[in-house]
Amino acid sequence: MECRSVFLLLLIGVPQSWCHLCLIFPEQRGAMDITRSGSSTCFRHGAPCGGQAPETPGVTPYMGGQQMWIKIQQNYNHYEVGFPGYMDIAIAPLNSLDFQMLAFTPDYYVHAQDHQKNFTTIVVLPNIDCDHCVIRARYNPHKPGETIFYQCADIKIKKSDGLTQTPPMSLPPLSQSLDPEYRTVRKKMDVLRHRNRFGPKMDKQYVFGLSYNPFDKAIVNFMNISLTTGYPKYFDGVDLIIIESKLKNDVTKRKSVTRETEKIFGYICAAIGAINSRGNYVGLFHDEKLDDDLAFNFMEISLHGGNTEFYPIKSLKAPINAILPYSNGSFYTFSIAEGSDAGDYAFELGTLIFHPDHKDYDPWYQYTPIVKTQENLYINFQWAEYDPIRHLVYVLMGNENSPDRLQARLYTFSAFNTSIVITNIDVDQFTFTSMHLDKRTGKLYAVSPGLFYSTNVSGI
């Protein structure tokens, strides 16, 4: 999900809004306290600078066309499954709204929202003279009840005559590195170098998934992972090359790609995937990079030597959090839709139905809502399962205002009579973010990652 000449950031009632963002370096306008999560100094709204007045830039200018170190902190996390947000860094002269993007990273998932994470990047400043430029940090969580968070810093830039951009810094040798993040990257690179190392049971014990390469941001690979050795392998016949789209929401024609295809317009939406009745991998696909629009394309990756197909989705009005196959070419979906009043939300169980190619039309998927229920608090989507025998859809949701205790509810939708049953989950001993259905018995199972909340009690 990168765009234009963008450098990847390297990872080194109405619901209460929790997610926050602070700009550490260059230091943001106004006060800054990053000693705790949920800091009010990281909680600023309103474009372009969170309501903070400009400040006088430092005396020493930054050199244009040269590298600049930038560091931000996500002071609270609000990852939205199926429609993940992003953080970006941009620059513009004072009083200008024409910001030039310098860096971008998609949001990431964590178990507990009460989570602080620093992001660092090295960007190349525009080679200009600017007595007062503004560095803007922005976090758009794409989360119901959340608005965009902004921070700004004021800097001075001096043009560098006759100098070109400095090449990106290379990764230092492991023995010279003092930063544990470098060691982590080296270990990941070692795993990739040994990606074809598999055990004898590989053909029966593996999982599928999409692999994003931070060192080659234009490429996404479809992978399988050995459950015997843990090593990844490129899935034969499927390499997806993702580049910036030249077309916006142009889904009038079906797209088909093979291993030899050089370009695909758009990008893959993270965290949404399933295996359909034909045994192929399906997911969602965006037409535009860094676009806040929904994913209006359905993607099917053949696991049997065929092509990757793309189909338009019609009548979709809310982001899809889960895709659950229930018959050939048909899927149940779960979404969180905005209500008619600001701050109101509704859970929506819907269907995606495949419409084949007729004489005058290309094939498409039709979205239709079938069940809705009002909900303004438990809006943190965690997991969904479909019981094909009992025709029930189970959805695990977290409490937006419980970032540490992680209170949760199970919503059970009947696909036939449109009834809904809500069950509060006891999280005093275990917290949950996923669940799995035993289709034979209809029982749900889960593995708890642990407790994130404790109460200290002292007696006399």
Determine the pLDDT at residue 265: 46
Q: What is the C-alpha separation between 277 and 252, in angstroms, rounded?
A: 25
Q: Give the start-end residues of each E strand in 125-231.
A: 130-140, 149-158, 206-212, 219-226
Q: What is the C-alpha separation between 359 and 259, in angstroms, rounded?
A: 29
Determine the pLDDT at residue 458: 34
Determine the pLDDT at residue 136: 97
Determine the pLDDT at residue 130: 96
Per-position pLDDT tens, the chain of length 460:
333 333 334 333 333 444 589 999 999 999 998 888 888 898 999 999 999 999 999 999 999 998 888 999 998 888 888 888 889 999 999 999 999 999 888 888 887 778 888 888 888 899 999 999 999 999 998 888 788 999 999 999 999 885 544 444 444 444 444 555 555 655 655 655 554 454 444 456 667 777 665 555 556 677 777 777 777 676 655 555 544 333 333 333 334 444 333 344 455 655 578 889 888 889 887 765 556 778 888 988 888 777 788 899 999 999 999 999 999 899 999 999 887 776 788 999 999 999 987 766 689 999 999 999 988 889 999 999 999 999 999 999 999 888 878 899 999 999 888 899 999 999 888 888 889 999 999 999 998 887 665 543 333 3
Determine the pLDDT at residue 226: 74
Q: Give the start-end residues of each E strand in 167-231.
A: 206-212, 219-226
Determine the pLDDT at residue 452: 60
**187: helix, strand or coil:** helix
Give the C-alpha distances (Å, rounded to integers) separating 245 from 3, 290, 403, 453.
9, 10, 37, 44
Per-residue b or e along 337-358, where b marks 16 or more CB atoms closer than 10 Å to that residue's CB: beeeeeebbbbbbbbbebeeee
pLDDT digits (tens, 9 = 90+) for 24-83: 999 999 999 888 888 889 899 999 999 999 999 999 999 999 888 899 999 888 888 888
Paired tokens of 71:
């560091």
CATH domain 7-158 topology: Immunoglobulin-like (2.60.40)
Paired tokens of 61:
């200018």
Q: What is the C-alpha separation between 52 and 58, in angstroms, rounded?
A: 17
Determine the pLDDT at residue 433: 84
pLDDT digits (tens, 9 = 90+) for 98-110: 999 998 888 888 8
Residue 20 near residue 76 (C-beta atoms within 8 A): yes
pLDDT digits (tens, 9 = 90+) for 309-320: 889 999 999 999
Q: Give the start-end residues of each E strand in 329-418.
A: 330-338, 345-355, 364-374, 380-387, 392-398, 408-414
Q: What is the C-alpha separation between 245 and 152, in angstroms, rounded?
A: 29
Work out the angle at residue 349's Cα, subtended by the Cα atoms of residues 347 and 353, and round it to the nearest 5 degrees. 150
Paired tokens of 455:
């109460």
Residue 181 near residue 118 (C-beta atoms within 8 A): no
Determine the pLDDT at residue 368: 96
Residue 43 near residue 30 (C-beta atoms within 8 A): no
